Amino acid sequence: MDTQQTPADADAGEDFAFDVLAQRCPSRPVLEHITGRWGSLVLIALREKPARFNELRRRVGGVSEKMLAQGLHALERDGFVAREVHSTIPPRVEYSLTPLGSQTAEMLWELIMHLEYAMPHVLRSQQSYDAAASAEA
Partner DNA sequence: CAGTATCCGAGAGGATACTG
Partner DNA sequence: CAGTATCCTCTCGGATACTG
Question: C-beta of 113: minimal distance to DNA in Å?
Answer: 23
Question: C-beta of 57: minimal distance to DNA in Å?
Answer: 8
Q: Which residues pair with 81 in a beta bridge?
A: 97
Residue 132 touches which of its own copies, DNA, none (Cβ within 5-8 Å per kind): none
- In the bound state with its own copies, the residue whose beta carbon lies nearer, of 92 and 132, is 132
- Can you spell out the DSSP letters for 29-88? HHHHHHHSTTHHHHHHHHHHS-EEHHHHHHHSTT--HHHHHHHHHHHHHTTSEEEEEE--
10 Å Cβ neighbour count for 21? Answer: 10
List of residues 6+ apart from 12 with CB closer than 8 A: 5
19 residue type, one letter? D
User: What does the angle CA 87 – CA 92 – CA 94 come to, to the nearest 5 degrees?
Assistant: 115
| Binders in 8-37 for its own copies, by CB under 8 A | 10, 13, 16-17, 19-24, 26-27, 30-32, 34-37
Determine if 69 is a binding residue for DNA (CB under 7 A): yes
- In the bound state with DNA, the residue whose beta carbon lies nearer, of 81 and 105, is 81
- In the bound state with DNA, the residue whose beta carbon lies nearer, of 25 and 67, is 67
DSSP symbol at 96: E
Instruction: Tell me, residue by residue from 96 to 135, as one string, x for binding to DNA by CB under 7 A and - for no binding.
Output: ----------------------------------------
**Residues that bind DNA in the complex, under the rule CB under 7 A:** 36-38, 52-55, 62-67, 69, 73, 83, 90-93, 95
